[in-house]
Amino acid sequence: DAKTTQPPSMDCAEGRAANLPCNHSTISGNEYVYWYRQIHSQGPQYIIHGLKNNETNEMASLIITEDRKSSTLILPHATLRDTAVYYCIVPHSGGGADGLTFGKGTHLIIQP
């Protein structure tokens, strides 16, 4: 998988937008960016993924820079339940397991 770099932790006030950055400077042209999160004592949960264009769903928005070397996950109105570890992943394409390689992610703490 293309290497990703995320800050180890971030704080955000409840009700504010949480912006989680991710660097993936070695990403290839056909590799997607995926975001998952893991709430304490639960399995990881898919959030969103994208290739080139910005994406939005009911959980979050994904902004990918034009050169695709970085992206930002945006939780528009963070709640206490959004406290979790957020993983940015670029799966290797063109063979292999396609299994996602998780790093240590960003521990997002939503403050009341």
CB 54 within 8 A of CB 63: yes
Q: What tokens appear for 100 in the block?
A: 């996602």
Query: Nearest approach, Cβ of 82 to another protein (angstroms)?
Result: 18
Residue 96 backbone phi and psi in degrees, to 5: 80, -165
Q: Considering only residues 5, 9, 28, 45, which one is a binding residue for another protein as defined by CB under 8 A?
A: 45
Cα–Cα dist 107/47, whole Å = 15
Length of the chain: 112
Cα–Cα dist 103/105, whole Å = 6
Site string for another protein, 2-41 (x = CB under 8 A): ------------------------------x-x-x-x---
Query: Nearest approach, Cβ of 28 to another protein (angstroms)?
Result: 12
Site string for another protein, 62-101 (x = CB under 8 A): -----------------------x-x---x-x--xxxxxx
Residue 81 per-residue DSSP state: G
Closer by beta carbon to another protein, 25 or else 45: 45
The one-letter amino acid at 12: C
User: For binding to another protein (CB under 8 A), which residues are involved?
Assistant: 32, 34, 36, 38, 42-46, 49, 51, 85, 87, 91, 93, 96-105
